[in-house]
Amino acid sequence: MKSKLNYALAVLSMALFSQLSLAGQCDAVKSGQVAFFEHGKYKGACVIRGVGRYENSNGIGIGNDKISSVKVGSGTQVRLCRDNGFRGGCELYTKSAPSLKGMNDKTSSAIIEKVVPTKSTAANCRPNANQVAVFEHSEYKGACAVLGVGNYKNSSEIGVANDTITSVLVGSNVAMVGYKNTNYGSVNFFGDKNVPYMKGKDSPNPLKGKVVEVGTPGGGDSISSIRVIKTCR
């Protein structure tokens, strides 16, 4: 019995170790990837992970509260969170960090995302009757994207950086449902007409006296997924 237990423990240890690499093997981080290191300055055991949501240290592949540095691939960002399930406060890293300072040895979960480049401008974002256009700034300015009827589960699919949408143009045959988190969840915005300013939780209205907010209160700078739905009018 004892020999079987020792064998089982050895197999488990090998399975866990197989996820990890030595630091030198985590140098080549591609776009859409992040390398997590056990020690500062990209040293110690490490693991490379791609775009996704890692709810705990098992998903990341390094022990809980063990991460001390990260290498971030081009066009990529990572949110390191203190508790499981992306709770306890998170810090955003858009580039490699040899020292995590306040997050050193405090990471329990992580979100890796592709960074959406600013490629569309307001002049290019005019929706038809079956589309909506979402904008980075109020009064339909800044980076933007035009979306047809369908589901957009994250900022990469939307085409505008996460938590930046502040105004919306809505076609006459559709409505937009905005969600606080990726992959939907709780609704924090509904609009079936143009919205020149979406009130954020803490942001003042830069257009006060000029416009009245339309649609469900909130949503400004806090939308991570969207559904565009047909309406009957």
Q: For 32-53, give the DSSP string.
A: TEEEEEEETTTEEEEEEEESEE
**Which residues lie closer than 8 Å to 113 by C-beta, 6 or more apart?**
51, 76, 77, 78, 79, 154, 155, 156, 162
pTM: 0.48
- Residue 80: its H or E element: strand 76-83
Structural domain that includes position 180: 122-230
Q: Which of 60, 87, 114 is the last residue of a domain?
A: 114
Same domain for 39 and 77?
yes
CATH number assigned to the domain comprising residue 126: 2.60.20.10
Question: Residues 87-103: pLDDT tens digits?
Answer: 998 888 988 999 998 89
Question: Residues 134-147: pLDDT tens digits?
Answer: 998 888 988 888 99
Question: Residues 27-56: pLDDT tens digits?
Answer: 889 888 999 999 999 999 999 999 999 999
**Taking all residues of the chain, what is their mean pLDDT, rounded to a whole number?**
81
Same domain for 110 and 126?
no
Q: Which of 72, 95, 114 is the last residue of a domain?
A: 114
Give the pair of three-digit tokens for residue 230.
Answer: 């047909």
Helix (H, G, I), strand (E, B) or coil at 83: strand
Tally of structural domains, the chain? 2
Average pLDDT of the residues in 118-136: 81
